[in-house]
Amino acid sequence: MKNEQSFYISGAEAVIRCLLAEGADLIYGYPGGAIMPIYDELYKFSDNCAMF
């Protein structure tokens, strides 16, 4: 049995982590409705990306 630690992240966090890993420097979006969890994650990762 391996000693592996697993954790779960939300889909919104996965999107932001992938965008940062790919070097995205500009993200367009229209706030409201179903996209709000992604905007919440952008705020959490604001040290790693610039928001305008």
Which pLDDT value is given to residue 45? 83
* pLDDT for residue 6: 85
Spell out the per-residue pLDDT of the chain, length 52, in tens: 566 788 899 999 999 999 999 998 888 888 888 899 998 898 888 777 766 6
Q: What is the spatial distance between Cα 30 and Cα 23, in angstroms, rounded to a whole number?
A: 21
pLDDT at 51 (0 to 100): 64
Predicted pLDDT of residue 1: 56
pLDDT at residue 4 in the model: 76
**Signed CA dihedral, 25, 28, 12, 31: sign only:** positive
Cα separation, 52 vs 46, whole angstroms: 11
